[in-house]
Amino acid sequence: MIDYPLFNRKLTKAQFIEEIRRILSKASVKLVLKNSDRVMVDDCPCLGYFDPPTRTTNGELVIASDNPNDVVISTLAHEYMHFLQWFFGTDEEYDDSVEDNYFMNEHEIEINSLRLLKSCGLLNKNIIMFSKLNLKSMFMQAAFDYMAAFDIDDIDELMEAN
């Protein structure tokens, strides 16, 4: 697991948001707090996402801010860890086309986001519970995606060949 930089000082939730906004802006990434309970990425609703900058466009870290404060802060920390993963070039360690890698990456991101929140004094039981549910949900989605991609006709063809 990669140890990303932590803030290591007590912050209020507002200070946490502004500190991340400040860091992102230095990398040409805009923090967008969208007044919605979900945002869309690839036609899928989610709580947030990170889209890195390109040579011609600024990046965005988008959070659905019409949610309980702990959900917003937890999601922001999670997506910020995706930003750090991109910034330090460690996102290439995972091939997200392989479900196991996707889940392992998301698990590492989630653990690091909890470490970040703890370093700021913002980790609480609600965030831990949300994190556990979030990881279970991601694992289930990866399993469903795998099952949907599984071609059961291959098994029938094997049986017919005998």
Tens of pLDDT, residue by residue over 39-59, are 998 888 999 999 999 999 999
Q: Is the pTM of this model over 0.75?
A: yes
Residue corresponding to tokens 């404060």: 69
Average pLDDT over residues 128-147: 81
Q: Is residue 2 part of a domain?
A: no
Q: Is residue 37 part of a domain?
A: yes
| Domain range enclosing 150 | 13-161
Q: Is residue 3 part of a domain?
A: no
Residue corresponding to tokens 């986001």: 113
Q: Is residue 129 part of a domain?
A: yes
Q: Is residue 5 part of a domain?
A: no
Q: Is residue 89 part of a domain?
A: yes
* pLDDT value for 97: 53
Q: Is residue 133 part of a domain?
A: yes
* pLDDT value for 70: 97
Number of domains, the chain: 1
Query: Is the pLDDT score of 101 beyond 80?
Result: no
Q: How far is the CA of 41 from the CAs of 60, 73, 74, 118, 148, in angstroms? A: 12, 19, 18, 28, 20
Q: How far is the CA of 1 from the CAs of 10, 11, 24, in angstroms? A: 24, 25, 23
Element counts in the chain: helices (H) and strands (E): 5, 5
Q: Enumerate residues 6+ apart whose C-beta is below 8 A from 115.
A: 6
Q: Is residue 27 part of a domain?
A: yes
Question: Higher confidence at residue 95 or residue 83?
Answer: 83
